[in-house]
């Protein structure tokens, strides 16, 4: 699309990306898993015993993995050397 001066104009709004589709599918599967696993599991941590829902263990593990992955990806981007731009 272009405006009156011939410049391209992008439409504002929601775009569907593969990343968004994958996140929706993973979220749906996680919710389905939570509904089907309402029983508890015994967890031992630092000498203490806890009874925790299985869905809570999986959800916390998934979210902490997502956060850790984002931190690693962000750190790797910062450490990457910038490309030199040559004037044309």
> What digits encode the pLDDT tens for the residues 5-50?
555 556 677 787 888 898 899 889 888 888 888 889 898 989 999 8
Cross-strand partners of 49: 44
pLDDT at 6: 58
Rounded to 5 degrees, what are φ and ψ at 42?
-90, 125
CA atoms lying within 13 Å on the CB side of residue 52 = 14
- Where are the domains positioned within the chain? 18-78
Q: Is pTM, for the whole model, over 0.85?
A: no
- Buried b vs exposed e over 19-49: b needs ≥16 C-beta within 10 Å? eeeeeeeeeeeeeeeeeeeeeeeeeeeeeee
Which letter does DSSP use for residue 52 in this model? E
Q: Is the pLDDT of residue 55 over 80?
A: yes
């Amino acid at each position: 699309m272009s405006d009156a001066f011939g410049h391209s104009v992008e439409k504002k709004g929601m775009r569907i990306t593969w990343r968004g589709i994958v996140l929706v599918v993973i979220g749906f599967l996680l919710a389905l898993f939570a509904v089907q696993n309402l029983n508890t599991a015994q967890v031992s941590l630092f000498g203490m015993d806890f009874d925790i829902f299985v869905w809570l263990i999986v959800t916390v593990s998934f979210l902490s993995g997502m956060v850790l992955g984002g931190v690693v990806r962000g750190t790797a981007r910062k450490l990457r050397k910038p490309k030199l731009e040559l004037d044309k």
